[in-house]
Amino acid sequence: MVRWRIFLGTAFAALTMAAGGAIASPAAAAPTSGDGAVNPTPSVVGGTRAAQGEFPFMVRLSMGCGGALYSPTLVLTAAHCVSRTGANSSITATLGVVDLNSSSRITRRSNYVYRAPGYTGAGKDWALIRLASPVTGLATLPIATTTAYDSGTFTIAGWGAASEGGSQQRYLLKATVPYVSDATCNSSAMYGGEVIAAEEICAGYTSGGVDTCQGDSGGPMFRRDANNAWIQVGIVSWGDGCARPNKPGVYTQVSYFSSAIRSAATSLGG
Ligand code: ARG
């Protein structure tokens, strides 16, 4: 099953990224750029380097996932990146840098994890991680509360693999991917009904080449809103391999869960 393959991949990433462990060097083989752009340091698959400060809300989590700073003390990530709801001081979040080895990085320990209620491995792939102390001076990423922004061109970013089966990245990579409708994504040519249309949103090129990949899970997919501000529309969740033709990335549809995320955040103290 596709989902099992992905979750096993995530477990592997967690093992190889042992808590607080060293960051693997960039993948040796450069993937083909999906957009034909000059691509000196690819990551995400088919991506390019993000500039320092470009996406201040990006978070790297020590189990080998991404996240987004939702508030000074809360990181929004994927349910499949965490094991349960409850007290948890084992996660380290790294923030404020594109280079995970930078001496100016900010780190915080977790003190609580909230996993989406009812999560059993398909859909509902969101979680909040509370940090032991607030992070100030970094912009947070607001979540979409309506479906108004659930189409168009999205930005993806992360420190995950730059090619299917590749190693985790030291430097934050970014790329853009177009929205794929539920009907297209669930067509027999693509996921044949595996996508939970109400809870998930697909993005990618029919020809493949650009995608999130293992280790990007939990990170945000985002775009500009009507005021030109970044807004989060997705959470990296799953896909069949990475950047394969006819296999777009599948993301948690944040707008669908926005009320639940907001009330969970309130219950966690902000
Ligand atoms: N579940 C994966 C992770 O743990 C992310 C998979 C995203 N895959 C994709 N083809 N977009 O990092």
Cα–Cα distances in Å, from 22 out to 25, 62, 100, 134, 167?
Answer: 9, 10, 9, 24, 12
Annotated active-site residue 89? The verdict is no
Q: What is the pLDDT of residue 13?
A: 38
What radius of gyration, in Å, describes the C-alpha atoms of the chain?
17
**Distance (Å, whole) CA 113 – CA 130:** 6
**Helices assigned H by DSSP within the chain:** 2-16, 182-185, 254-267
Q: Ligand 1 mean position to 212 CA, how many Å?
A: 6
Ligand 1 atom nearest residue 9's Cα: 4
Name residue, tokens 């009507």: 226
Cβ–Cβ under 8 Å, residues 160 and 212: yes
Catalytic residue among 33, 110, 217, 255: 217
Tell me, what's the pLDDT at 270? 81
pLDDT of residue 43: 52
Using most ligand atoms within 8 A of CB, pick from 7, 10, 119, 244 the residue to mutate for ligand 1.
10
What burial class does residue 41 get, using C-beta atoms within 10 Å of its C-beta: 0-12 exposed, 13-18 middle, 19+ buried? middle
Find the largest Cα–Cα distance for the chain. 48
The pTM score is 0.86
3's tokens: 């989902």
Ligand 1 center to residue 237 CA distance, Å?
A: 6
Give the closest residue to 201 by CA, choosing from 264, 256, 156, 259.
Answer: 256
The CA distance from 250 to 234, in Å, is: 9
Instruction: With CA atoms as reference, report the closest residue to 14 among 261, 218, 163, 203.
Output: 218
User: Which protein residues are within 6 Å of ligand 1, measured from CB?
Assistant: 6, 10, 13, 160, 211-217, 236, 238-239, 242, 249
Q: What is the residue-level pLDDT of the chain in tens, covering all 270 positions?
A: 344 434 333 433 333 333 333 333 332 233 333 333 333 333 599 999 999 999 999 999 999 999 999 999 999 999 999 999 999 999 999 999 999 999 999 999 999 999 999 999 999 999 999 999 999 999 999 999 999 999 999 999 999 999 999 999 999 999 999 999 999 999 999 999 999 999 999 999 999 999 999 999 999 999 999 999 999 999 999 999 999 999 999 999 999 999 999 999 999 998
